[in-house]
Structure 1
Amino acid sequence: MPLPAKAFQRWLHGIAPDASTADVCRVSGIKRTTLAQQLVRGKVAETTVVSISRAYGVNPVSALAGFEAYSLLAVPAPPTRCELVSQISTPDLLRAVLSRSAVDPAGRSAERPPLSPAPHATSVKNWVEAIDDGELRHRVSAATGVAPQNYSAQLTANRLSPELAIATSLAAGVGPAGGLVASGLITEAEAGWPPDARQTALDGLPDGELTTLAGDRLQALGKTLKRQEHDQEQTNKIWENLG
């Protein structure tokens, strides 16, 4: 949900009282035309607040929490284990499976590579699936008025608007920041996640659970690739017929 321009201007004056619009844009990397258009429309994007917050050394989560639509962020909550695991990429899961089974001649486990930073290629969909009790999408749709198919389309595209991310967290009963991390609006550190939280969650997975999860991810990836290949074949046939 875009933020009211008047509330944004009050917030901006609070963190940069002597800065001009040109100064703010230069420091934050936002185009002046982009900010001007948002102010004229009376709606400022969350990404604008995040960029300016980072530029002026303000935690983006704290900044967003100052706006009514994101007041839930003022009460931090730790991520659940399933949320943390959902933010581990499929290649990292596969490496973990291989690492646990690899032992050198001295009997030592293979060296553990660091995890890739969140988000990853399917982080949004994985996050929703991790906290879904089977009725989550219907509750989100009822609460926001967003049609289930439109909601699913965002997940398939690995994106989720900040408004829907907050609504999803609320409907699932988890901390409010998880969806913002999964969608890439904020970082793990900005959300208050410990630096080793994802790795700890991964290490806590039993071998069977880890292997099953990696297999499910591979199966989902295979379906996606097949669908893309089919779409490409159809596109090629159309061009052949036109040519």
Structure 2
Amino acid sequence: MPLPAKAFQRWLSDVAPDTSTADVCRLSGVKRTTLAQQLVRGKVAETTVVSISRAYNINPVAALATFEAYSDLAGSTTPPTDKELVSQIATADLLHAIIARTAAGAGAGAAGTGNGTGPPELSPPPHATSVKNWVDAIDDGELRHRVSAATGVAPQNYSAQLTANRLAPELALATSRAAGVGLAGGLVASGLVTETEAGWPPGARQAALDRLSDGDLAALAGERLQALGKTLRRQEHDQEQTERIWENLV
């Protein structure tokens, strides 16, 4: 939900008093034309607030919380669950972890080693399927219906966003509310804010990965690869159809 331009201007005057719009844009990397268009339309994108916040060393989540639509963020202290944390680990990193455990001689079916045998450093969120993985991690089977009822967004439109690995900030917040988890999780999964900005403990994803048993890690990686295979086969099928259409047109 884009932020009201008047509320944004009040916020900006507090953040950067006596600073020209040109200077704000230069420091934040926001294009002057983009900001001007948003102000004219009366709706400023959340990404604009995030970029300006970072430029002025303000936590983006705290900045968003000053706006009415995101005020709930101010009181959200619920930490991410292990399932949420693992959902934000890229498939390639899961495979590296399996290789590392195997090389270290971890027994099949043993509990996670807990000694950092995964990759030296996990890739930061988001990854190729981070949004859908996050929703799947917190879904009790009825989550999508609750989000649809609360927001008025049709289930098919919601699913389309997940398939495209994106989630509008207001939908991310609504999803967190409906699932009863920390409110900033969806903002991390969609790439709007970083895990650090969301208040996730340092090394939390790696710790959650280490807590996975070897069997659970292998099963999760297998599920990811199976989903990737379906996506690739679908893309290949679409490409073949496109090529056949062009052949018939030539």
Tell me how far apart the structure 2 counterparts of residues 110 and 142 of structure 1 sit (CA, whole Å).
43
State yes or no: 1:127 paired with 2:128: no
1:109 shift after superposition: 9.7
1:38 alignment counterpart? 38
Query: In structure 2, what residue type is equivalent to 1:84?
Result: L
Query: In structure 2, what residue type is equivalent to 1:215?
Result: G
1:112 shift after superposition: 3.9
Tell me how far apart the structure 2 counterparts of residues 109 and 201 of structure 1 sit (CA, whole Å).
10
Given that residues 116 and 206 in structure 2 are in contact (C-alpha distance below 8 angstroms), is that contact kept between their aligned partners in structure 1?
no
Q: Are residues 136 and 109 of structure 1, via their aligned partners in 2, closer, same or farther at CA, if it must alter by over 3 Å?
A: closer
- 3-state SS of the aligned residue for 2:127? coil
Given that residues 103 and 109 in structure 1 are in contact (C-alpha distance below 8 angstroms), is that contact kept between their aligned partners in structure 2?
no
1:77 shift after superposition: 2.1
Q: Give the TM-score taking structure 1 as reference length.
A: 0.96
2:209 alignment counterpart? 202
1:181 alignment counterpart? 188
Cα-to-partner distance string for 1:151-209 (whole Å, 9 max, x where unaligned): 00000000000010000000000000000000000001100112200000000001111
Given that residues 97 and 117 in structure 2 are in contact (C-alpha distance below 8 angstroms), is that contact kept between their aligned partners in structure 1?
no
Cα-to-partner distance string for 1:84-122 (whole Å, 9 max, x where unaligned): 000000011111111111138xxx997743111111110
Given that residues 93 and 122 in structure 2 are in contact (C-alpha distance below 8 angstroms), is that contact kept between their aligned partners in structure 1?
yes
State yes or no: 1:95 paired with 2:102: no
- 3-state SS of the aligned residue for 2:242? helix
Match of 1:147 among 154, 171, 193: 154
1:138 alignment counterpart? 145
Given that residues 99 and 109 in structure 1 are in contact (C-alpha distance below 8 angstroms), is that contact kept between their aligned partners in structure 2?
no
1:61 shift after superposition: 0.4
Q: Are residues 71 and 37 of structure 1, via their aligned partners in 2, closer, same or farther at CA, if it must alter by over 3 Å?
A: same
Tell me how far apart the structure 2 counterparts of residues 148 and 176 of structure 1 sit (CA, whole Å).
21
Residue identity (%): 79
Tell me how far apart the structure 2 counterparts of residues 197 and 111 of structure 1 sit (CA, whole Å).
13
1:83 alignment counterpart? 84
Match runs of 1:1-243 below 5 Å: 1-75=1-75, 76-103=77-104, 112-243=119-250
Aligned residues: 240
Tell me how far apart the structure 2 counterparts of residues 60 and 15 of structure 1 sit (CA, whole Å).
12
Given that residues 116 and 210 in structure 2 are in contact (C-alpha distance below 8 angstroms), is that contact kept between their aligned partners in structure 1?
no
2:108 alignment counterpart? none
For structure 2, the residue ranges without an aligned partner over 5 or more in a row are 106-114
Tell me how far apart the structure 2 counterparts of residues 4 and 193 of structure 1 sit (CA, whole Å).
28
Q: Give the TM-score taking structure 2 as reference length.
A: 0.93
Given that residues 100 and 109 in structure 1 are in contact (C-alpha distance below 8 angstroms), is that contact kept between their aligned partners in structure 2?
no
Tell me how far apart the structure 1 counterparts of residues 188 and 178 of structure 2 sit (CA, whole Å).
17
For structure 1, the residue ranges without an aligned partner over 5 or more in a row are none
Given that residues 131 and 162 in structure 2 are in contact (C-alpha distance below 8 angstroms), is that contact kept between their aligned partners in structure 1?
yes
